[in-house]
Amino acid sequence: MTPFELARSHMIESQLRTNKVTDDRVLGAFASIRRELFVPEHLRPVAYIDEDLPLGGGRYLMEPMIAARLLQAAAFVRTDTVLVVGAGTGYEAALTAMLARNVFALEEDTELARYARAALVEHAIASVTVVEGPFHAGYRPRAPYEVILFGGAIAEIPAEITAQLAESGRLLAVVRPTNGVGRATLATRTGAVLARRVIFGASTPMLPGFAPKPAFEFC
């Protein structure tokens, strides 16, 4: 095994299996995708550590365990169409491609979108489409989506994106209304109602543009 293959195996056994990731499909996806291709070259030696990795410009690649538990909670069906909001370098989109039919990776940073396309080509993954645009708008042309996944923490779930969720669709995000620890949340749509369930705590970095709005102060 190469050093990266050993690191990938160690990630699965020491970070995922020991933290309630039991879905063989999710574990198989993590075993298939070369995480080192989705980080800047100088970070490749530490690509598999159990931390969020900086991508530049205030962006991060989510800690593997957090991403794995979110993907597990999505309970993918192979025919699902998925939107990843804040796709970054495309790692979560690549993992999702192992579990669903079509994935749309929304990214507003042109350089990160370019990086994502290159890494996906390296993996010969054709079922992911990287689209560029503002995060808050989602991607209406291919809505509704059975699953929507956020690639970073958000202060609240935007109504514009919620409207793009299919009936019985699942939305996964780390919700951090303040600067404290976030809560990985599963939201399920039934008609006009979005039922939410907290899955676990997570200190995931915020996605740009999704930080809590400052409270008014009265002098």
What confidence tens digit (pLDDT) does each residue in 8-53 have?
999 999 999 999 999 999 999 999 999 999 999 999 999 999 999 9
Per the structure, the complete domain to which residue 91 belongs is given by: 3-202
Whole-number pLDDT of residue 206: 95
Number of domains in the chain: 1
Mean pLDDT in residue range 57-67: 96
Per-residue model confidence (pLDDT) at position 215: 54
Q: Does residue 218 register a pLDDT over 50? A: no
- Here the tokens at position 39 are 């980080």
User: Which residue type sits at 125?
Assistant: I
| Residue 54: exposure state from Cβ atoms within 10 A (0-12, 13-18, ≥19) | middle
Distance CA(110)–CA(8), nearest Å, equals: 28
Measured CA to CA, the distance from residue 209 to residue 54 in angstroms comes to: 17
Closest CA to 84 of 121, 36, 127, 29: 127
Check residue 180 and give its pLDDT. 76
- The pLDDT score that the predictor gives to residue 214 is 63
- Is 195 within the bounds of a domain? yes
140-151 confidence digits (pLDDT tens): 999 999 999 999
Single pTM value for the model: 0.94
Residue 24 falls inside a structural domain: yes
Domain presence at residue 46: yes
Looking at the predicted structure, is the pLDDT value of residue 59 above 70?
yes
Within a 13 Å sphere around the CA of 116, how many CA atoms are in the beta-carbon half? 30
**3-state SS assignment for residue 133:** coil
Query: Could you report the per-residue pLDDT of 138-180, keeping only the tens digit for each?
Result: 999 999 999 999 999 999 999 999 999 999 999 999 999 987 7
pLDDT at residue 209 in the model = 87
Burial letters 160-192, b for 16+ CB under 10 A, else e: ebbebbeeebbbbbbbbeeeeebbbbbbbbeee
Could you tell me if residue 179 is inside a domain? yes
Residue 85 maps to a domain:
yes
Whole-angstrom Cα distance, residue 179 to residue 214? 11
Taking the mean position of all CA atoms in its chain, how far away is CA 54? 15
One-letter amino acid identity for 181? Answer: V
- Report yes or no on 70 lying in a domain: yes
Residue 150's CATH number = 3.40.50.150
Q: Is the pLDDT of residue 216 over 80?
A: no
Structural domain contains residue 184: yes
Domain-located, residue 212: no
pLDDT of 106-130, one tens digit each? 999 999 999 999 999 999 999 999 9
| Positive or negative: CA dihedral 131, 34, 63, 167 | positive
